[in-house]
Amino acid sequence: MRNYILVFQCLIGFLYAPACLAAPLSLAHYLSVLLEQNEELKSAELNVKIANENLRITEDLYQTSVTVTPSQTTSNYQFSKDTKTTDVNFELSQLLPTGTNVSLKGTRILDNSLEQRSYQGSTDSIVITQPLYKNSFGELFRKDISAAEFALAASKKQRDLQKINTCLQGIESFASTYRFQEQVKIYTEIEKTSGNLLALANRLRKKRLIRKLDLLSARADYLRIHSLLLEAQKDHQQSISTLSQYLNSNETNKENETLFLANPTMGFRKFPHLITFNVSTNASYLESINILRSKELAVKAAQSTARSDVDLFLETGNTKGRVEINSGYPKFEDSFVTVGLKWTLPLNNQTLKANIAKADFERQIAQNNISLKERNLKSEFEQLIIQIKNLNQQLTISKSKSDKYRDQVKEADRLLNAGKLEFEEYYRYRDALLNENIDALKLKQSYWQQKSLLAAIDHKTGLLCWEQM
């Protein structure tokens, strides 16, 4: 929490400049706040919860229902006595994971349907229905559960991908801001040096020790460097504004420029150097695998839905009550058992056929996506290895060149102060060092980004998001 407060204070830049200067904002701290605040990552987490609820819904196979139906029926007959029946029907139904449906039925009757007779009784029965073909022993239920499990796994991989993308965006923003920060420092130092040279040129010109052309060159150089500094400061401020937007901060303040970023070089050195790549560790590839499995189950489910319904049912129960006979109400009790098959055959159902074809096309698309993704990931990995190797070589060469140019500038500075070197020639040596330092910053930024992409493609999220630093 302390780190979060510090980061936010630095980003809004409001009355906290000393705190920011005392404690530079590290990439690890920035990413931790970014992961906490990113809305897209929060949405991805909610999608995981939705998929988990869908799984719970699919797994809810012990469904119980109760139905109560009170009714009264009055019938008028031409050749018999009118009847009036009052009854209450109830049914308790229980669904089982095997597809079996068990129902307990009951009826309570008060019947004045017969001449000079009244009938009063009840019927209780149990009905068991077992699917034998379409949903044989819960086959469709199991497929639906498996599909929901794969959908949940895919949503988790999508969340992992969003976390990776969030960290990549954060690293890109941080690296860009750090480069502009260092450019401002370089141009500020060069402007100071250029100002000193301009003052020296003014003094020497007054003494007629240099040409007017040298003084004009010194003035032009100072203006050029000052212009480059202003451009670098503008880029730096815009980059800081982008850095703040990643945390959804709408605050803007001219003191944002006081934000100081820590050098992330040491952290990137901990990123492993990969030689081989295993596609099975990639979050995007694993997400595609889970999607394919879900589509394959959808095809089987659609095919099962098109089958005929063949259900075995068994009903057994008894009826008991009293009936009016010769001014008496003797009791009676009857029992019954019913066994049978119910067969429902879909005839020319185009909707079912279309659903099967649609599910199969989606499965083919998912399969093609896996092949395409595997090929693209392999190509991307190989390209990243080549680029990182090249950037390493360029950084090594750049450091050597920078050391050489720095020695040249020191010698040129000595000769200039001794009056043995023209101003124009000195600027040439100094600009060579300046340009090399600026190019080195660009190389570092590119190197960090390529290393981050390599960690992302290998699904090293802990390193990528600097959680293991």
Residue 458 to residue 276: CA distance in whole angstroms:
10
Would you give the DSSP letter of residue 261? B
Spell out the per-residue pLDDT of the chain, length 469, in tens: 444 444 444 444 433 344 444 478 889 889 988 898 888 999 999 999 999 999 999 888 888 889 988 887 777 766 666 667 778 888 888 888 888 888 998 888 766 555 545 566 788 889 888 888 877 888 888 888 888 898 898 899 889 889 999 999 999 999 999 999 999 999 999 999 999 989 988 988 888 888 888 889 999 999 999 999 999 999 999 999 888 775 544 333 444 446 789 998 888 877 777 667 788 888 888 888 988 988 888 888 888 887 778 888 888 888 887 776 666 667 778 888 988 888 888 777 888 889 889 999 999 999 999 999 999 998 998 899 999 999 999 999 999 999 999 999 999 999 988 888 888 899 999 999 999 999 999 999 999 999 898 888 877 777 788 776 5
Contact between residue 415 and residue 423 where contact means Cβ atoms under 8 Å apart = no
Q: Give the span between the Cα atoms of 216 and 52, in whole angstroms.
A: 73
CA dihedral (265, 269, 274, 278) positive or negative: negative
**Cα separation of the two ends of the chain:** 18
d(CA 66, CA 320): 23
β-bridge mates for residue 334, sequence order: 319
Pick the CATH number of 2-57+141-295+355-464 from 3.40.50.720, 1.20.1600.10, 3.10.450.230, 1.10.1040.10: 1.20.1600.10
CA dihedral 357, 358, 360, 364 (to 10 degrees): 130
Quick one: 72 exposed, middle or buried, by C-beta within 10 A (0-12, 13-18, 19+)?
exposed
* Domain boundaries along the sequence of the chain: 2-57+141-295+355-464, 62-95+100-134+309-344
User: What would the DSSP string read from start to end of 198-233?
Assistant: HHHHHHHHHTT-S-HHHHHHHHHHHHHHHHHHHHHH
CB-based contacts of 105-114 (< 8 A; 24+ apart in sequence): 105/317, 109/85, 109/321, 110/85, 110/86, 111/83, 111/85, 111/86, 111/87, 112/83, 112/84, 112/85, 113/75, 113/83, 113/84, 113/85, 114/81
Q: What is the pTM of this model?
A: 0.74
The pLDDT assigned to 447 comes to: 92
**Contacting residues for 447 by C-beta, under 8 A, at least 6 apart:** 268, 388, 391, 392, 395
